[in-house]
């Protein structure tokens, strides 16, 4: 099933099928972090993966990069199934896909200078002269807003969080990837700095034409950066479709709850948000039967506990997993 809102002339750049990631928990419990996830990302497209903390978003991003080994499923990048590659072949493919992590400071080596940090991907890849590497690093540092001569020999601890995230972006883009995975890239930053980093991401995307998997728990952040949104709950996809369609008329009750939890400029302090999400996410060691959201859904009925909902398509290019979409709409 292709979860794309636009016709793709060629196969998607990234195709994830039935991805499962499980871990061993305490007392031999099996933790199901990702359960049968499937989605596509087209060339040059930005897909936002959103959901509450603990739903499996970061695990999905790490599994796509093969930093986390999947229990089962496929991760097909540019027609190559990454789950079947040995370490040598995977290392070669990874030059075309890079990751930006949540904590911009701890993701940078504190012992290395900025120039060396940004240059490292090209040094590892090989095939470029020292002068060529130095020229490429200077160019990237200028693009992300630095004076190369002023920052080249400085260490990460000398920079703010926003500056470190710009260094991380330069390091990620130095190898000219076609897919960038951003795992909560602005959640650790101040709101004003978040806006600058998001604007920079858009400028870089226009300049380098890469696709992006943008992972976030904040729907208000992803609206302006994504082409499509995939909503995730307890390891499963609830809804996926064009960004504006998701925001204007969410079909799944979980998506509705997330959107109603967003504070708007007109929401005063102390205001109680009606119809927002209630309750806690169930344990990943023993998820609810049937629909995993049923324990927090006001529309839940007996069938929701008996069987898992199948995904259905809508006229506006969405896929929704719900037994009673007419009640939720």
Q: What proportions of the chain, in percent to the nearest 5, are helix, strand and coil?
A: 35, 20, 45
Angstrom distance (rounded) from CA 171 to CA 140: 8
Give pTM, 2 decimals: 0.89
Residues 57/51, Cβ–Cβ less than 8 Å? yes
Answer with the residue of higher pLDDT: 124 or 220.
Answer: 124
pLDDT more than 90, % of the chain: 69
pLDDT score for 55: 92
Q: Distances from the Cα of 117 to the Cαs of 43, 137, 180, 194, 210, in angstroms?
A: 28, 10, 18, 23, 21
Angstrom distance (rounded) from CA 273 to CA 278: 11
Query: Using 50, 70 and 90 to split pLDDT, how confident is the model at 120?
Result: very high
Answer with the residue of higher pLDDT: 279 or 304.
Answer: 304
Q: Distances from the Cα of 218 to the Cαs of 14, 170, 229, 261, in angstroms?
A: 23, 24, 12, 10
Residue 274 has pLDDT above 50, yes or no: no
pLDDT more than 70, % of the chain: 92
SS3 sequence, 194-213? HHHHHHHHHHHHHHHCCEEE
pLDDT score for 275: 56
Closest CA to 210 of 54, 95, 328, 84: 95
Residue 43 has pLDDT above 70, yes or no: yes
Query: Using 50, 70 and 90 to split pLDDT, how confident is the model at 263?
Result: low
pLDDT score for 247: 93
Per-residue pLDDT tens digits for 93-110: 988 999 999 888 899 999
Angle at 113 between CA 110 and CA 118, to 5 degrees: 100
Query: Using 50, 70 and 90 to split pLDDT, how confident is the model at 297?
Result: very high
Angstrom distance (rounded) from CA 58 to CA 23: 14
Angle at 40 between CA 34 and CA 42, to 5 degrees: 145
Strand ranges (DSSP E) for 28-171?
Answer: 30-41, 46-50, 72-77, 80-81, 97-100
């Amino acid at each position: 099933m292709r979860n794309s809102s636009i016709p793709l002339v060629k196969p998607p750049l990234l195709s994830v099928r039935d991805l499962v990631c499980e871990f061993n928990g305490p007392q031999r419990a099996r933790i199901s972090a990702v359960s049968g996830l499937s989605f596509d990302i087209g060339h040059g497209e930005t897909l936002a993966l959103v959901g509450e903390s603990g739903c499996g978003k970061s695990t999905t991003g790490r599994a796509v990069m093969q930093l986390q080994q999947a229990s089962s499923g496929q991760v097909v990048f540019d027609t190559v199934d990454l789950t079947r590659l040995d370490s040598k072949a995977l290392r070669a493919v990874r030059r075309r896909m890079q990751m930006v992590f949540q904590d911009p400071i701890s993701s940078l080596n504190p012992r290395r200078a900025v120039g060396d940090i940004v240059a490292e991907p090209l040094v590892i890849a090989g095939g470029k002269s020292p002068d060529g590497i130095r020229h490429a690093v200077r160019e990237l540092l200028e693009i992300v807003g630095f004076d190369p001569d002023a920052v080249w020999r400085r260490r990460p601890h000398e920079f703010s969080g926003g500056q470190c995230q710009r260094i991380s972006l330069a390091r990620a883009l130095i190898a000219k990837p076609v897919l960038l995975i951003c795992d909560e890239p602005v959640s650790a930053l101040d709101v004003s700095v978040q806006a600058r980093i998001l604007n920079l991401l858009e400028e870089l995307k226009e300049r380098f034409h890469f696709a992006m998997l943008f992972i976030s728990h904040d729907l208000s952040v992803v609206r302006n950066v994504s082409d499509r949104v995939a909503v995730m709950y307890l390891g499963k996809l609830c809804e996926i479709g064009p960004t504006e369609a998701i925001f204007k008329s969410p079909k799944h009750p979980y998506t509705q709850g997330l959107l109603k939890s967003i504070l708007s400029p007109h929401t005063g302090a102390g205001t109680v948000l009606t119809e927002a999400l209630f309750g806690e996410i169930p344990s990943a060691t023993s998820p609810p039967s049937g629909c995993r959201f049923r324990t927090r859904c006001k529309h839940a009925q007996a069938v929701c506990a008996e069987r898992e909902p199948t995904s259905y398509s809508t006229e506006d290019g969405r896929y929704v997993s719900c037994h009673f979409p007419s009640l939720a709409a």
